[in-house]
Amino acid sequence: KKKKTNSTDIDWLLVRQRYLLLEWQQQCWVLPLFKLQRHRLISQINDAGISQPLLMPVAISADQAMQQSFHRLAGPLEEMGLELQLARDKLLLKQVPAGLRNLNWSDILPALLHGEESDLASTLAAAAAPEQQNYDRAQTQALWHWFAGNNSDWQQKLSKLAHPLPDNWPQDYAN
Q: What is the reported pLDDT for 7?
A: 63
Please write the tens of the pLDDT for every residue from 72-92. 999 999 999 999 999 989 999
Which residues share a beta bridge with 83?
A: 95
CA separation, residue 1 to residues 4, 12, 26, 154 (Å): 9, 17, 11, 22
Q: Pick the residue with more confidence: 33 or 1?
A: 33
Distance, CA of 42 to CA of 146 (rounded, Å): 13
Residue-wise pLDDT for 129-151, tens only, equals 999 999 999 999 999 999 988 77
Per-residue pLDDT tens over the stretch 19-64? 999 988 888 999 999 999 999 999 988 886 788 999 999 999 999 9
